Amino acid sequence: MNKIEQHLKHHKLRITQVRLDILRYFQNHKTALSHADLEQHFSKHFDRVTIYRTLTSFLENGLIHKIPDDSGIAKYALCRHDSIAHSTVDEHVHFKCKNCGKIECLHALEIPKLHLPKKYKPESANLLIEGTCALCNA
Amino acid sequence: MNKIEQHLKHHKLRITQVRLDILRYFQNHKTALSHADLEQHFSKHFDRVTIYRTLTSFLENGLIHKIPDDSGIAKYALCRHDSIAHSTVDEHVHFKCKNCGKIECLHALEIPKLHLPKKYKPESANLLIEGTCALCNA
DNA sequence: TTAATAAATGCAATTAAGTTGCAAATATGT
DNA sequence: ACATATTTGCAACTTAATTGCATTTATTAA
Ligand SMILES: [Mn+2]
Ligand SMILES: [Mn+2]
Ligand SMILES: [Zn+2]
Ligand SMILES: [Zn+2]
């Protein structure tokens, strides 16, 4: 039982080929991925609906998170609680490059807590910064 | 020439019935609206494509802004530069209620500037806070 | 090792959001 | 009132995502 299989096990997901392959693919990419990205790469091997359902199962079981942007196309990236405990919701900033279009997780940057108007109860937050990324500025 | 007509004129848009009606509708609603919301209300009077194109023209001409959330369904709200100058990009926080589903602009809350990693050049930012709103907590 | 079973997959069909082309209608400036 | 560029309605189309169902597979327990 290798690392990736353990990762699935740990999140109570059955070990199947599509899950192993897509999980590894996420691990090898530092930028967020859309269904279309995965379909492009895996359509020879798996049905597009299976890819959708794989993303859904990863999302529901906390392996990945969804990153909203104004495009309306869902993008996902790995959660980083590679630690033992299945906890610590890691809320971090996302960066979208206007040049190359890629979205990155800035795990080092926390989203600052704001003082909301009376009676508003915050539970989670999403901060997306747009601009040009390090690579495109090089 | 009333207030709403002037608003359109000021943004170099021709004065048409659908624009007057939809602009007024935005002014009367404090929460963000989707195309579906507008279609629900206006389908008797205007074609759905016309409503899409009205939103696009409002967006391109700075009357409204688009608010990204994880639903993938585009929501829009009025920009508030009712001032004379066509400027001052007002970047503010948005709040989405997990109970009633409504999205509000928190114009009073600015998005804090963060220190990004080297070579990243920020240009704009979107912050969406989710939780329960004042009304749902009352 | 096998058998039982719950879960996952592939495929076809469907829903839903948004876009495009084009002819007809209309707003605006002269 | 006229000329013209813009806007509108309608039909068709694209794209993203979902659903139903029969088949296959992973897991657990005999
Ligand atoms: Mn992230
Ligand atoms: Mn707003
Ligand atoms: Zn870039
Ligand atoms: Zn609410």
pLDDT in tens, A63-104: 999 999 999 999 999 998 754 344 446 789 999 999 999 999
Residue B83 has pLDDT above 80, yes or no: no
Q: Rounded to the nearest 5°, which phi and psi values hold at A7?
A: -60, -45
Fold of A3-137: Arc Repressor Mutant, subunit A (1.10.10)
Tokens 């659908």 correspond to B18
Per-residue HEC secondary structure of A13-76 comes to CCCCHHHHHHHHHHHCCCECEEHHHHHHHHCCCCCHHHHHHHHHHHHHCCCEEEECCCCCCCEE
Q: Looking at the complex, does the CB of residue B113 fall below 8 Å from at least one CB of chain A?
A: no
DSSP state, residue A97 = E
- CA distance readout (Å), A99 to A18, A77, A127, A138, B110: 31, 20, 19, 12, 25
Contact between the CB of B74 and strand C at under 7 Å: yes
Residue-range domain boundaries for chain B: 3-137
The tokens describing A89, both together, are: 């919701």
- What pLDDT was estimated at residue A90? 75
Minimum mean pLDDT among A7-16, A84-93, B20-29, B90-99: which range? A84-93
Tokens of B95: 């709040």
List of protein residues whose beta carbon is under 7 A from strand D: A 14-17, 34-36, 48-49, 52-53, 56, 73-74; B 13-14, 16-19, 45-47, 49-50, 53-54, 57, 72
Q: How far is the CA of B4 from the centre of ligand 3 (A)?
A: 40
Q: What is the chain B residue with the closest CA to A104?
A: B120
Quick check: B86 pLDDT over 60? no
SS3 label, residue B21: helix
Q: How far is CA B68 from the centre of its chain?
A: 10
Structure tokens at A12: 């109570």
Distance of alpha carbon A68 from alpha carbon A125, whole angstroms: 11
Q: What is the pLDDT of residues A9-61, one digit of tens each?
A: 999 999 999 999 999 999 999 999 999 999 999 999 999 999 999 999 999 99
In contact, B97 and A117? CB cutoff 8 Å: no
Describe chain A by its helix, strand, coil percentages, rounded to 5: 30, 25, 40
Strand C-proximal residues of A, range 38-57, CB below 7 A, are 45-47, 49-50, 53-54, 57
CB pairs under 8 A between A and B: 114
Residue B107 phi, psi dihedral angles, 5° rounding: -60, -25
> Nearest nt to B15, CA vs C1'?
C27
